[in-house]
């Protein structure tokens, strides 16, 4: 019976991460297309490119925050990013097989979530449906460094927020402001992906694979370095979630009993 329950909740976690990542890409990249797609009225309404990038970063981050605060976040923790799941695994807050389940859900969710973006038609195609590519005039190494640094900052702040009970409850609200700062500063270099799933989805539907490995290696390397830099905070993290830290659902209890999610 325990094995049946274990499988039941693994499936539930898969569906949750799949749905969360699909929503992140569908909504987040729709904002990108609306703000920067050819023929969009936003270029005339907000002619300042940096301001549009700031707004887009805020809206993309707000989408992620809303997912973390939703039932998705309560169920699986709303990692919606393989780099985040990897850090929870490195911190021994999530078991390896479950981490693989999360990552598979995130990658497949990203692809499915991007399919409706095709409805944007010519406007979406004009910017490859939000695909991330190295910026014009920047070297591959510079773009890779951009992804490493931005992901390092994102993961470090995430760990700091969830590592201290006094600010833990504000964790999701950090993302809109963080991306509102990072996107206008870094987007011209690499596109500020910080998430392999975020880059995979639009690459699949657009066929734009230039420098694709940057958006796999960069975020994972940045997250790994952040896990080292913040390793002393690992013991302060109670559960592999971005919100609902004191949740005691049946699924959480089962996973803790099985040693998959560790509550200190």
Task: Give the distance from CA 44 to its chain's centroid.
Answer: 30
Q: Which residue has the higher pLDDT, 251 or 23?
A: 23
Listed by start position, the domains of the chain span 2-258
Residue among 54, 60, 50 at smallest CA distance from 180: 54
CB 177 within 8 A of CB 87: no
Close Cβ partners of 49 (under 8 Å, ≥ 6 residues apart): none
Burial class (CB in 10 A: 0-12, 13-18, 19+), 199: buried
The CATH class for the domain spanning 2-258 reads mainly alpha
Digit-coded pLDDT (tens) for 2-34: 677 678 888 999 999 999 999 999 999 999 999
The pLDDT value recorded for residue 250 is 61
> In the Cβ-directed half-sphere of 122, how many Cα atoms lie within 13 Å?
3
Angle 129-65-175 from CA coordinates, rounded to 5°: 85
Average pLDDT, the chain: 93
CA distances in angstroms from 108 to 44, 48, 220, listed in the order given: 36, 35, 18
Dihedrals phi, psi of 46, to nearest 5 degrees: -130, 80
> In the Cβ-directed half-sphere of 18, how many Cα atoms lie within 13 Å?
12
- Cα(38)–Cα(23) distance, integer angstroms: 23
Helix 196-206 crosses helix 82-90 at what angle (to 10 degrees)? 150
With a cut of 60, say whether residue 259 has pLDDT above it: no
Digit-coded pLDDT (tens) for 184-239: 999 999 999 999 999 999 999 999 999 999 999 999 999 999 999 999 999 999 89
CB 135 within 8 A of CB 190: yes
């Amino acid at each position: 019976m325990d094995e049946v329950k274990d499988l039941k909740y693994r499936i539930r976690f898969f569906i949750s991460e799949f749905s969360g990542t699909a929503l992140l890409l569908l909504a987040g990249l729709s904002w990108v297309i609306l703000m920067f797609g050819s023929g969009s009225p936003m270029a005339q309404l907000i002619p300042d490119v940096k301001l549009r990038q700031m707004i887009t970063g805020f809206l993309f981050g707000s989408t992620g925050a809303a997912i973390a605060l939703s039932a998705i976040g309560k169920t699986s923790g709303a990692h919606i990013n393989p780099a985040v799941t990897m850090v929870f695994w490195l911190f021994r807050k999530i078991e390896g097989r479950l981490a693989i389940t999360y990552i598979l859900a995130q990658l497949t969710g990203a692809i499915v979530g991007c399919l409706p973006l095709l409805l944007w038609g010519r406007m979406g195609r004009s910017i490859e449906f939000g695909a991330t590519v190295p910026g014009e005039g920047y070297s591959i190494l510079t773009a890779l460094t951009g992804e490493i640094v931005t992901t390092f900052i994102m993961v470090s702040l995430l760990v700091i927020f969830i590592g201290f009970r006094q600010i833990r409850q504000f964790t999701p609200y950090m993302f809109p402001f963080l991306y509102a700062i990072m996107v206008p500063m870094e987007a011209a270099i690499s596109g500020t992906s910080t998430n392999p799933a975020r880059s995979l989805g639009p690459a699949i539907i657009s066929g734009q694979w230039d420098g694709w490995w940057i958006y796999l290696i960069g975020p994972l390397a940045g997250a790994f370095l952040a896990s080292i830099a913040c390793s002393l905070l690992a013991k302060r993290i109670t559960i592999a979630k971005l919100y609902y830290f004191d949740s005691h659902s049946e699924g959480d209890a089962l996973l803790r009993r099985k040693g998959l999610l560790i509550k200190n």
